[in-house]
Each structure stands twice: as C-alpha cells, then as structure tokens.
Amino acid sequence: MPSDEIARPPHDPRSGGPAAQGPARHDPLTRLPAQPGTRGSADRPPPRRTPSASGRPERPPRPPRLPDAPGALPVVGHAVVFLRDPLSWLRQCAGSGSGEGLHRLRLWGRPSYLVTDPELVHRVLVTDAPDFDKGGQFYRNAREIFGETLVTAAADKHAHQRRRIQPVFRRARIAAAVPSMRLEAERTAQAWLPGRAVDILQATTHYAHRTAVRTLLPVLSTDEVDRLAAASARLIEDLYLRTMLPPAAGRLLRGRFDTSLRTLREACVAAVPKARAFASDERSGLLAALLETSPHGDGPAEDSEVRDHFVALLMAGTETTVSALAWQLHHLSRDLPLQQRLRDELHEATGGRAVTLDDLGRMPLLRRTTAETLRCRPPLWMLLRTSVREVRLGGYRFPAGTDFYFSPHQIQHAASGPDGFADPGRFDPERWAERGPSARDRGFLAFGAGPRKCLGDHFALTSLAVATSTLLDRWTLTPAADAPPRARLRTMQMPAGRSGLRLRVDRRHLAR
C-alpha cells in the first residue's frame, strides 16, 4: 500500500503543487511548475531593510510588527487559545486575511509567528530548511531526556543520524515486518466481543505499541513484547508533561518515567546479541538493520546506539499510529458501504490468504481512505521551527531565534488557493487520485516535508493498512454514540468523546 510518492525524498526543488480543487486530485507531476516570483509575497523585497551603505555590518532586524493573530488575552497572550479550542482559532487566523499568511503570536515572551500560507510553510520546511531547526521547550527538554536521536537531533547532528537510520525502513525490512503487524492486528480483533462497544483508543494503543516493539525486535517473546509495549505506552503518557514543563518542574515527575525508560533500554540491550547473530536476515527486524555494515561504510552500531534508536522510534512511531488508526476506524464506522468496498478490494487482492506488502500495493481505495484520514485528522496538528540565523519570509526580515508555528491541520483544511481542498470538512477518499498524495503536494503535510519529513511514513502506512484490513475482515464497525468524537489536542490530535471513542463491533456475517 505505501505510496512511493509519499516516501520519495522530499528535497525536490520543483515547485509544482497539488491539483487544484475538483473531484479528484491528480498526480502533481503533470502540473506546470510555478515561475519564481509569481506567487505570494515570499519573493518580494523586504520592506524594512537596514541600510549598510557605510560598509558597517547590518544590525540584526527587530521582529516585524505584523498584525497580532486573533485571540490574544492580556498577560497570557495566545497561550489560552492554544489550550482551549485551537482548531477554531486556527480557522479564524487563516480566515482573518491580515498579515499575508504570517500572524504575530504572544507566547512565552519569545518572538513567535503563526504561518498559515502553504507556500511560506514550504519555504520553512523545504526550500530554506537549513535556516531553521527544531526548537522550542519540547525539543530542548526531549534532548535532555533522550539525548541526540534522529527525532530530537539539532540540525548539525541530524544528517548523520538520518543516513544511519535509513536502512531500518528499507522496503525488504518493511515487507518482512508485515507478518508481525498481522499477528498484532489479529490479537486485537480476537479480543473483541460481538455486539459490544469497544474502547477504540485502548485497542489502537495496544496495537500500535505492540506492533512497534515486535517489528523492531522480533526476537522478543510475546510476553516480553507485551511488557515492553506497556512500558512504552506509560512513557508516552508521561512524556507530554515532562517535555512541556520547564526542566526543573519536569524533573519532579521522574520516578515512573525513568522506570519505563530503563525497562525499555535494558530489554533492548539484552536482545541485541540475538538480533546481531542473524542481522543480515530481513526477518531479524527493523533495528537489526543497524547491526549490519551500512553501504556508506558506517560499521555496525554499538549496543547503546541501538538502544537509543529503539526508544526514539517508539516515541515517534506509536502515538502517531494510535491517533491515525483511531480516526480511520471512526470514519469507517460512519460509512458501511465504504467498509464493504474495502473488504471486496482486500479479497480481490489476496484471494482470501494473509495479506502481504505486495497485496497492499493493489489496494488503491485503502490508500485513498488513509490519505483522507490523515488529511482530515493529521496526528501532529502543530509543528514548530526556530530560525537559526536572520531569515526572510513573506517579504519581512526576522532575527535568529524566532519561532515559527504552522499547522498541518489548518493547511489541510484550506478551501481556497492552489493547495486548497474543495469542501475540506467532508471526509471523501475519492478526492485523491489513485496513488494518494505525493511528496510535492504542498497542501498535504501529515508527514511533514523537507529533510525532516517522517522517516517512518512507509512503515506507518503499511501498519495502518494491515490493521484496518484485518479488523474489517472480521468485524463491522458502527458508532456506539450518536455524537461524533471531539478532537483532544496535545502533542497529538486524538479522538475523544464523553467516554473516549467507542464503536460497536458485530461479526461481519451477522452485521446489521
């Protein structure tokens, strides 16, 4: 299933965007590239340049006085709207029409802006990526806790880390991981009782953490997989508070957090000798790819390096999957004909045997459904970059150390502009052409873009496809409550109702 388009390295300098609004979005390769300087204000000369005719070095610019984003309160600024109802606030910002896609934020006393124009976001993430780095309290704290892993690494260490991890996600390793995904999806399906309301967040949490542990280290027994999956879920639960609070306050919460972290690290180091013994066999798991000599000449990783990547990949790859799978099951529960069409597609592709990675490549409806889930509900709804030097954006100059926030959710719900979506609030898998979104779709940011684009996107799409098709093959899903779930927004966008997200499950042949 995973689209080669989505996973293609996103450094392509071409500027063709996604197809304009219409019933289906076609391969953007067929669109003409935009001419430099034809769009937006990004290429306009900056309006407030400090003259340097005297030959003296230019003074760093002061942050420009752009219009404030709506919703600022005295003293606390925009902090409250972030916590209260950020999705409506984002809609308001994007619709306010002021600031040409840049809105000043009042947050934590730092120069901060919200970027709502996809063209400017593309510059931050892709075209001008070396001028920006992952910043903010979250990453400062995460580096203190986990060290410099691929996810947390500052720009200077990042390229090496990324090259090191790349082999983990080679197609052959992902193909060999499919049986582990299937096994965990079947365990999830078997735990359900007919006619009952299932707690979907609990089910997807079990699936995502167990699958991540098992595919990274298949040498572990099922008991060990379950023990580590529980530790990983606990670690994530505590991670939000530990990374969002100032370090001194975060350290007060250390006890349970450190126990979970130690459990994961020790179990990984204990499993490494076994994984090392047959590392060249794809079935030895994703992490074992680090134990081979890489084509770039990097030698096999040390135990401590494997251990740190294990934890980092669990942190990056589990809650994102929990969120995406839960939203996908919610959307499917409201569309019985779509469930049936997906089952038909599965049976046509597999002829009734266990699904493989090659089969998923022949299931375009499932691919479009997942793309639409990720468009409607991107798990990472807000991202942040900090300028590492003076930068120009939207015709303005900003000093080093300015924070730029942007929201995949807001960008993916734009109704107008070349990157917009017709009727963006509607869940409609048919809006995508067969292959789903491409890396050059500037209006699709669920996996980010540029040199820090999600490295696990292929793996994630495969895991979502295996879980969805396995669950639908056994169960029919319908909503257990009339009201659709709300979105609970922390680091991740999660479905939450009065009692979480509950769906009624019926055996497929007995479905209502």
User: What is the Cα–Cα distance from 318 to 210, expressed in whole angstroms?
Assistant: 9
Contacting range for ligand HEM; rule: CB under 6 A; set: 1-9, 37-45, 266-274, 378-386:
378-386
Contacting range for ligand HEM; rule: CB under 6 A; set: 40-48, 315-323, 415-423, 470-478:
315-323
Q: DSSP per residue over 206-228, as a string?
A: HHHHHHHHHHH-TTS-HHHHHHH
Contacting range for ligand HEM; rule: CB under 6 A; set: 91-99, 314-322, 434-442, 486-494:
314-322
Whether residue 210 contacts residue 184, with contact meaning beta carbons closer than 8 Å, is answered with: yes
Binds ligand HEM (CB under 6 A): choice among 383, 471, 489, 505: 383
Structure tokens at 352: 């009734």
455 touches ligand HEM (CB under 6 A): yes
Binds ligand HEM (CB under 6 A): choice among 6, 181, 446, 501: 446
Binds ligand HEM (CB under 6 A): choice among 115, 129, 150, 231: 150
447 touches ligand HEM (CB under 6 A): yes
Segments in 334-363 forming alpha helices (H): 336-350, 357-360
Q: DSSP per residue over 383-427, as a string?
A: EEEEESS-EEETTEEE-TT-EEEE-HHHHTT--SSTT--SSTTS-
Binds ligand HEM (CB under 6 A): choice among 316, 346, 357, 439: 316
Query: Which residue in 133, 155, 135, 153 sits closest to 143, CA to CA?
Result: 153
Structure tokens at 3: 């689209």
Q: Is 454 annotated as a binding residue?
A: yes
Q: Which distant-in-sequence residues (6+ apart) come within 8 Å of 499 by Cβ?
A: 481
CB of 16 to ligand HEM, least distance (A): 21
Binds ligand HEM (CB under 6 A): choice among 3, 15, 260, 320: 320
Pairing of the two strands 132-133 and 383-387: antiparallel
How many residues interact with ligand HEM (rule CB under 6 A)? 23
CB of 429 to ligand HEM, least distance (A): 16
User: What is the Cα–Cα distance from 385 to 49, expressed in whole angstroms?
Assistant: 23
317 touches ligand HEM (CB under 6 A): yes
Would you say 260 or 407 has its CB closer to ligand HEM? Answer: 407
Residues numbered 14-43 forming contacts with ligand HEM, rule: CB under 6 A: none
Q: DSSP per residue over 51-95, as a string?
A: P-TTSPPPPPPPPP-PPBPTT-BTTTBTHHHHHH-HHHHHHHHHH
139 touches ligand HEM (CB under 6 A): no
- CA neighbours closer than 13 Å in the CB half-sphere of residue 447: 29
Cβ-based burial of 39 (10 A; exposed 0-12, middle 13-18, buried ≥19): middle
User: What is the Cα–Cα distance from 392 to 394, expressed in whole angstroms?
Assistant: 7
313 touches ligand HEM (CB under 6 A): yes
- CA neighbours closer than 13 Å in the CB half-sphere of residue 252: 6
322 touches ligand HEM (CB under 6 A): no
**Using CB under 6 A as the criterion, what x/- string covers residues 406-445 for binding ligand HEM?**
----------------------------------------
174 touches ligand HEM (CB under 6 A): no
Would you say 288 or 374 has its CB closer to ligand HEM? Answer: 374
Helices 222-244 and 254-277, interaxial angle, to 10°?
A: 140
Residue with smallest beta-carbon separation from ligand HEM:
456
CB of 361 to ligand HEM, least distance (A): 18
Contacting range for ligand HEM; rule: CB under 6 A; set: 48-56, 192-200, 319-327, 398-406:
319-327
Structure tokens at 168: 């983990």
Residues numbered 117-136 forming contacts with ligand HEM, rule: CB under 6 A: 134
349 touches ligand HEM (CB under 6 A): no
321 touches ligand HEM (CB under 6 A): yes
Contacts 24+ apart (CB under 8 A), 150-154: 150/309, 150/312, 150/316, 150/455, 151/312, 151/315, 151/316, 152/312
140 touches ligand HEM (CB under 6 A): no
Binds ligand HEM (CB under 6 A): choice among 162, 334, 341, 435: 162
Would you say 162 or 488 has its CB closer to ligand HEM? Answer: 162
Query: Which residue in 361, 365, 324, 367 sits closest to 342, CA to CA?
Result: 365
User: What is the Cα–Cα distance from 285 to 123, expressed in whole angstroms?
Assistant: 36
CB of 391 to ligand HEM, least distance (A): 17
**Using CB under 6 A as the criterion, what x/- string covers residues 262-291 for binding ligand HEM?**
------------------------------
In the chain, the largest separation of any two C-alpha atoms, in whole Å, equals: 83
Q: Which residue has the tokens 């953007």?
A: 28
CB of 217 to ligand HEM, least distance (A): 12
Write out the binding residues for heme. Answer: 454
Instruction: Kindly list the residues in this chain that would bind ligand HEM in the complex (CB under 6 A).
Output: 134, 150-151, 162, 313, 316-317, 320-321, 324, 374, 379-380, 383, 446-448, 452, 454-456, 459-460
